A and B are shown apart, each in its own frame.
Chain A
Amino acid sequence: MGHQWQAIGKTVCGAAHKRAGLTNQDSITWYPILEPGPPLVMAISDGHGSAKSFRSHWGSAFAVETAREVIREVFKPPPTLISRTDLSNVKRLLEERLPGELVRNWAARVSAHFEHYPFTHAELEKMASGDSAGSLESLEENPLLAYGATLITILVTQDYIAYAQLGDGDILIVSDTGGVSRPLPDDERLFANETTSLCIKDAWSDFRTGFQVLTNSPPALMLVSTDGYSNSFLDETNFLKVGSDLLEMLRAEGLQKISASLYGWLDQASQEGSGDDITLGIICCMDALQGGAE
């Protein structure tokens, strides 16, 4: 009696970035794209967008591609029903192996890109005009800085859900009754637009992970979003309302209609809120969408 899961999502270029002529620094991917899971993998990433991180749109694109491939590789499903021991092993994989694999693979992609496309004079000049004098030195030491990005991933299988997060952004779980919670603890270091990142030394150690064994009451929805979205709301309460509202809307109107509305909603949030790029991914438990509060 497995549950079926399906994903939708959207990313929009921020209002402030449009005004400045910048591209969207966020990325999103999920697999499978149209068919339901499990397994289902979703990943989002937020490129820093600062003067020093002038290739962070590449950084975020590489981050989500990496996540999709690495997670499918690391968490290959076992041939038989998973046991308690298997679950412990999977949890260990999540906590001890996945972060390092994600960072290593991302760094390899970025390094390959940098080798083919070294920094241009124009890029470095533009960076120097918008950032501190020490930036050139730090880029020479660590070219990955130019590609700096965050990463949030969710893997849903028949037996468990695995969350992994590096940097800012939000994961919300919405229960069948519309209750909204966060599966991961806060990282107090993420404050004042400062974030942990794939591009810094020992990034693997900055990951937060969460593991949830699936029971008869799975989440109805899981939402992942970049910080441009939560920063667009007046406060936490107003942001969390996204979760309960989306559950109601999905039950009333269905996945396709909501998917078609996402662009407009996120664009409005950026214009009236943070001005930042906004990405929102939604993983739906299809059984839960049939249900609803009486």
Chain B
Amino acid sequence: MGIRPGGELATRPLHFIWIADCSGSMETDGKIQALNTAIREAIPHMQKVTDENPNADVMVRAVKFSNGAQWHISQTTKVADFKWADLTAGGVTDMGKALRMVAEQLKVLPERGLPPVLVLISDGQPTDDFDGGLKEILDQPWGKKAVRIAIAIGEDADLDVLQKFINNPEIKPLRANTPEALVRYIKWVSTAVLKSASSPASQSKQVAAGINVPIPAPPPEEVLDSADDVW
């Protein structure tokens, strides 16, 4: 065969960003612990997906928001090396600031990459300029094309806001009212959605209408045994 023509080969980067609500209300009823557990438990499953899809170079980061927003894991981390450090809760819900931080990162993603996956998890209502933050994301080419998933924790989460973030009428916010449901949804987004985003398939322009990644059906909403189970 001989030396091939062309320069360096590379798999396609796929940026996966957790956007996590760490406001004071997440402290109640063990919600923040449940979120930490869910993400930590999802890591081996995420690793299995990336092993099965080696042409997607999945890199994970996390943003947290309460009073302001900060990078929880700022370094893009390959899934094989990804370790979850526990989030702690306290403060308000500056979701808009978190979205602005993500939008800044979307500006520098390479064109040859696969669509990024953004997962917003919240139990309440934003206390800052959410619309402005969302606009900054959707103004970015990669923002428009990102896979945007939202998980509502408990009954006080603002579903309208989460739906706005998703910006696709065919995809609804996932409603996690128990720790078990949260684990299921976090696992689904870390595996089924990630696998779909890792595919190189194209979509014709007219039918794409936003994101190009087909989103698989999420796990069904749970049937609750008793009111004690519910957040």
Q: Which residues of A contact B (CB under 8 A)?
A: 14-16, 19, 46, 48-53, 130-134, 138, 145, 148, 150, 168, 189, 191-197, 199-201, 206, 227-228, 230-235, 237-239, 241-242, 245-246, 249, 253, 261, 264-265, 268-270, 272-276
Contact = CB atoms under 8 A, between A and B. Distances in A.
Interface stretch (B19-27, B70-78, B175-183, B212-220): B212-220
Contacts of A192: 115, 141-142, 145, 212
B108 interface: no
B199 interface: yes
A239 B6 contact: yes
B200 A274 contact: yes
A204 B202 CA distance: 19
B145 A16 contact: no
Interface of B: 1-2, 4-12, 52-56, 110-112, 114-115, 141-142, 145, 170, 199-208, 212-216
A56 to B, nearest CB: 9
B212 A232 contact: no
A88 to B, nearest CB: 32
A130 B1 CA distance: 38
A191 B12 contact: no
Secondary structure type dominating chain B contacts = loop
A272 B4 CA distance: 12
17 contacts: A49-B202, A51-B201, A132-B170, A134-B170, A191-B141, A192-B141, A193-B200, A195-B203, A200-B204, A206-B205, A227-B202, A230-B112, A234-B8, A268-B1, A268-B4, A269-B9, A275-B55
B50 to A, nearest CB: 13
Contacts of B214: 50-52, 130-132
Nearest to A223: B5
A194 B146 CA distance: 12
Contacts of A233: 6-10, 112
A48 B5 CA distance: 26
A65 B110 CA distance: 35
B200 A200 contact: no
